[in-house]
Amino acid sequence: MTTNSPSSPTINPPWMEELDQQIDDLVNAAPFILPKPFEDVCEYIENRSLTFKMFRNEFLQTKNKKSKNKQERLTRELLQPDWWAPPRQRLYYVFLPFNRSLFTAKEMNDLYAVYTAGPNTSPPSSSQIMTYTNSLANIKTENDEYLQHIKRRWLEESWSRVNVIKEEVTQFVPTWWKNRLNRIERCAETYSRMSPVPLTPSETEGKLVFLKNLKELGSLTRYYSSAHHKSGAVSMSIVQEELLEREGDRFKRMESTVNDTDKEVGDDKMAECFAVDHQAEIVTTPSVLKTILANSPGTFEETWCIPFKIKEVSSGDHNRKVIFMDKKLPPKTLTISEKNALYSKIAARAIFRKSKKSLSSMVPNTADQVDKDGEENYQLPSIEKKRLEKEVQYNLWEYRAVDEHSVLSKNHRKPFKILLRTKTEGKNFDAQRQLSPCVMSTKLDFQPEFGASQMNFRELMGEWISLKLRPNSFLHRVRVDPMKGGIIMVESKTPAAIANDSQRLHSRCVEHQLSLIQILFDHISPLPPGNYLLNHDIKDKGFMYIYHELLDKQKRSATNLNIRELYNKVDVDGHAEQVAPWIPIDPNIMTPTLHSLKRIPCVFPPAKDDANRKRVQIPAKKKIKKNRKKNKGKNPMKGSPGKPAQGKNKETNRPIPENNSRSKVSYDEVLFD
């Protein structure tokens, strides 16, 4: 009968003993650390470490000198035309497999110099341009490998980031949502389905032509500035109280407003007067056209509902119909990602907006208003004198179909005019340092440590149409980290740059979507006067349906749409189900991290030099000497009969590294070892 022997102490593996010894040596070498708490030690290292200083971008910051000239100070304070990164922005750690780039550190510096060449930087040398030209094939190969790696990381663990929501978002979005749900009371209760309208662009292209600006109202000009955020990183939570206070007073302000510009387009008497005198067929806002035109095959997952009414107005000796399209109704459901995007968009505008009083335009009680060309005088309705807090413009556009038919042909489509009531978000200096209207959009980056996410076609189309309908404007795209609630960077884009991105990323032309305006007009213009809805659901795919207001005496059916019943089920505190598709990284966008590290996008950490990379593959010197006679005349890099031959990269003629036992290594360890 055997007896159980007492358990022997566990023997640590050699690597753990070696690690313990290294820790003991470190403690003995720095005894001053022992009496201090752990938090103080971390703060000491973070404040004095050269690596942390570089990640905080301290070496690239300059002192903000005061200028006596106010115009120069305003120019300096506004956002930079290329890209702007918040000061002291904590750059991101990246965990990559033990994999080296195809380029050395010197080659990477040459590629970075070519990537960042611009009017404000020194031009690259001829050798740097030659290095870039010879490396195009390797860059494409490494970009594909890099994207495959981060895609695996997303599918394995990072996909859960879409479910992260900050406290400021959970407090603001329900309040914002409740205030917008009050619009449902102004709509009819039940609507009857009539006919579908396709959302697929036609082969007949069209174009929007700006005719003239009819009226410009407003008392304040808002500038987008970063001067009041020079002291540290920018967090989206700093404007939480301001946004909550604004939303708390919104209902009272909307009830007491007397300005037509704050009402729905269908109730705007000034817009109706302009439509009558300038023969406009459609009166709407840029947000309505943005909602319709941003839908295309592959992006039909959005649900929206746009109310519109058709009025019969007298124009000279005859009556004609005018279509008034209001902005879309509030959403019925919101996912966590949509709530984060909503808060980020509103908060970014509040963070960078800086008010400056300018020459105010007053709306008189009763006066003869004259358009900018001085063509016609007409009496506007009586409006109480009140200073407008935003700049509003009434612009006249014309849609023209580009077809091959003659003007006398029956198939020729006549152009029609569109009156747009446009609000100016803000102003800033463009690339030519001219003060121009500016539009601000946001983009959520769920993998900011790897680079900037690509823009999908719906986002690009929305940005492009927003700039198209605001002449001489440009865009600030704010990239936000939804996990930390901070701003990563600000990009500056023009309509031409957005159109090029759409062609580069999706091989699609944004101007082809303009034909949806003609399709919509052909289906709506024959309708009789009344109240209508333009509804699109996920199950409708590539169609939107026209609904007519159902009167009490009309017959009800299963296809009717009860607006009140749908919105009574809205849960402003709940989250809708969402999927987490992987969004590729854009290899053409430089982030603040890449600028700080002088790297190009979508590449692995560079090898220090060729000798370092080869040293991993070459056998030990003793082993080479021992088998020198046996392997005489053979290339040791080609392998031996007992081992598989080691491959080479065909483009660079460099050996491909073998798999190392270390699976992962921190980005800073790879960079600074």
Q: Which of 10-19, 283-292, 631-640 has the lowest mean pLDDT?
A: 631-640
Provide mean pLDDT across the span 313-339.
Answer: 91
**pLDDT at residue 46, as a whole number:** 59
Model confidence at 191, pLDDT cuts 50, 70, 90, reads: very high
401, pLDDT greater than 70: yes
DSSP H helical segments within 214-281, as ranges? 240-248, 250-256, 269-277
Contact assessment for residue 191 and residue 560, using Cβ atoms and an 8 Å cutoff: yes
Report whether 108 contacts 607 (CB < 8 A). no
CB atoms within 10 A of CB 559: 11
> Of 366 and 278, which is predicted with more confidence?
278
Residue 199 is encoded by which pair of tokens?
Answer: 């959302």
Angle formed by the axes of helices 286-293 and 457-468, to 10°? 150
Phi-psi region of 433 (alpha: psi -120 to 50; beta: other; left: phi over 0): left
pLDDT value at residue 186: 86
CA–CA separation, 607 vs 596, rounded Å? 18
Give the pLDDT mean for 653-663.
Answer: 41
Amino acid identity at 369 = Q
Per-residue pLDDT, averaged over 442-448, amounts to 94
* Least confident interval from 3-7, 98-102, 607-611: 3-7
User: What pLDDT sits at residue 617?
Assistant: 36
183 in Cβ contact with 358 (< 8 Å)? no
Question: pLDDT by residue (tens digit) across 202-216?
Answer: 888 899 999 999 998
Query: Is it the case that residue 650 has pLDDT exceeding 70?
Result: no
In degrees rounded to 5, what are phi and psi of residue 407? -65, -30
In this structure, what token pair is assigned to residue 544?
């939107």
In 9-102, DSSP assigns E strands to: 83-84, 95-97
pLDDT for residue 516 is more than 70? yes
State the pLDDT at residue 108: 92
Percent of the chain exceeding pLDDT 90 equals 40
In this structure, the chain runs to a length of: 673
Query: H or E segment at 596?
Result: helix 592-597
List the one residue out of 233, 277, 271, 493 whose CA is nearest residue 376.
277
Q: Give residue 400's pLDDT.
A: 92
pLDDT of residue 434: 79
Of 477, 483, 487, whose CA–CA distance to 447 is shortest?
Answer: 483
- Which residue in this structure is represented by tokens 């006398």? 408
| 36-40: average pLDDT | 56
| Location of structure tokens 């009556």 | 319
* Distances 478 to 441, 475, 535, 626 between C-alpha atoms, Å: 6, 10, 30, 62
Q: Note the pLDDT tens digit of each residue in 622-636.
A: 444 444 444 444 443
Q: How far is CA 212 from CA 397, 417, 418, in A?
A: 7, 11, 11
Q: Measured between alpha carbons, how far is 261 from 290 in angstroms, rounded to an integer?
A: 19
Angstrom CA distances, 279 to 267, 396, 524, stand at 18, 10, 17
Q: Which helix (H) or strand (E) holds 531?
A: strand 530-536
Task: Give 427 or 177, the one with higher predicted confidence.
Answer: 177
- Cβ partners under 8 Å of residue 250, min gap 6: 179
Q: Which of 245-249, 322-326, 358-362 has the lowest mean pLDDT?
A: 358-362
Contact 304, 180 (CB under 8 A): no
C-alpha span between 541 and 300 (Å, rounded): 6
b or e along 460-480 (b: 16 or more beta carbons within 10 Å of the residue's beta carbon)? Answer: bbbbbbbbbbbeebbbbbbbb
**For the ranges 55-59, 311-315, 631-635, which has the lowest average pLDDT?**
631-635
* 174-183, 410-419, 550-559: segment of lowest average pLDDT: 550-559
Q: Name the nearest CA neighbour of 488 among 330, 614, 601, 348.
A: 348
Decide which of 483 and 630 is more confident. Answer: 483
On the question of pLDDT at 358 being above 70, the answer is no
DSSP lists the bridge partners of residue 402 as: 205
Residue 568's φ and ψ, nearest 5 degrees, are -70, -20
Task: Quickly count helices (H) and strands (E) in the chain.
Answer: 21, 20
For position 251, what pLDDT does the model report? Answer: 60
Lowest mean pLDDT segment, chosen from 403-412, 492-501, 506-515: 403-412
Of 258-272, 361-375, 437-451, which range is least confident? 361-375
Instruction: Spell out the long-range contacts of 645-652 with Cβ–Cβ below 8 A and sequence spacing 24 or more.
Output: 646/617, 649/102, 649/138, 651/102, 651/137, 651/138, 651/141, 652/102, 652/138
Contact 306, 327 (CB under 8 A): yes
Classify strands 280-284 and 416-424 as parallel, antiparallel or unpaired: parallel
Mean pLDDT in the chain? 75
The token pair that represents 313 in the structure block: 């107005």
Q: DSSP 3-state helix, strand, coil percentages of the chain (rounded to 5)?
A: 40, 25, 40
DSSP H/E element including 224 = strand 205-224
How far apart, in whole angstroms, are the C-alpha atoms of residue 190 and residue 532? Answer: 10
Q: Are 186 and 371 in contact (CB under 8 A)?
A: no
What one-character-per-residue DSSP string does 312-324 give? Answer: EEEETTEEEEEEE
Which two structure tokens, joined as six digits, stand for 583?
């969004």
User: In Å, what is the CA distance from 333 to each residue of 199, 366, 437, 566, 590?
Assistant: 22, 44, 33, 11, 35
- SS3 (DSSP) at 478: strand
When mean pLDDT is compared over 351-360, 598-607, 639-648, the highest value belongs to 598-607
Contact yes or no for 461/513 (Cβ under 8 A): yes
pLDDT of residue 436: 84
State how far the Cα of 454 lies from the Cα of 587, in Å rounded to an integer: 9
pLDDT at 430 over 60: yes
Q: Which long-range contacts (CB under 8 A, 24 or more apart) does 200-203 make?
A: 200/296, 200/297, 200/542, 201/296, 201/512, 201/513, 201/515, 201/516, 201/519, 202/515, 202/518, 202/519
Question: From CA 399, how far away is CA 515, in angstroms rounded?
Answer: 9
**Which residue do the tokens 């865009």 mark?**
475
